[in-house]
Amino acid sequence: MYAIVEIAGQQFKVERGNKVYVHRLEANEGAKVEFDRVLLLDNDGKISVGNPTVEGAKVAATVIEHLKGDKVIVFKKLRRKGFQKWNNHRQHFTQLLIQGVLAKGDTLKEELKADKAARNFTISRNAPAVTAEAKVEKKAPAKKAPAKKAAAKKTTKKD
């Protein structure tokens, strides 16, 4: 089951268990939030399209953390005029863990835990999971001290 939901003025495709970065919300970390502006709802092939929203549908989520995005550099220049203006910006985001997509009359059965493992989320779904044992194995063995060079052999010329 997935839904297209509008959060903070932007549309997101969400499913249960997804993590989504949205523009900063006025909620504390660990708080549970619900979004009722569901524009489309797909329940195992049965699609409901809202006009403009699907009536009674909700998306339940938990705020994992507030963070900042990458720095965006804004550089303006007019050639041959001597004008240069440099500015930068970092957007504030909120990371949400989607607890469930609820149709009309549904209730949230079980909650997903927003634990420490959820915070270490990687966007790439194809990347293999790295365990603590694998991290230890990847470390290079300690380098040995370089051996002292043997004294150079003296060669004599034979006439």
Q: Which 3-state string (H, E, C) describes 32-49?
A: EEEECCEEEEEECCEEEE
For residue 100, the enclosing domain spans 2-113
Looking at the domain assignment, is residue 33 inside a domain?
Answer: yes
**What is the chain's percent helix, strand, coil content, to nearest 5?**
5, 45, 50
Q: What is the pLDDT along the chain (159 residues), one digit of tens a residue?
A: 899 999 999 999 999 999 999 999 999 999 999 999 999 999 888 898 989 999 999 999 999 999 999 999 999 999 999 999 999 999 999 999 999 998 887 777 665 554 444 445 544 444 455 555 555 555 555 666 666 665 555 666 665
pTM: 0.63
Looking at the domain assignment, is residue 40 inside a domain?
Answer: yes
Looking at the domain assignment, is residue 38 inside a domain?
Answer: yes
Looking at the domain assignment, is residue 60 inside a domain?
Answer: yes
pLDDT (tens digit per residue) in 70-102: 999 999 999 999 999 999 999 999 999 999 998
* Number of domains forming the structure of the chain: 1
Looking at the domain assignment, is residue 22 inside a domain?
Answer: yes
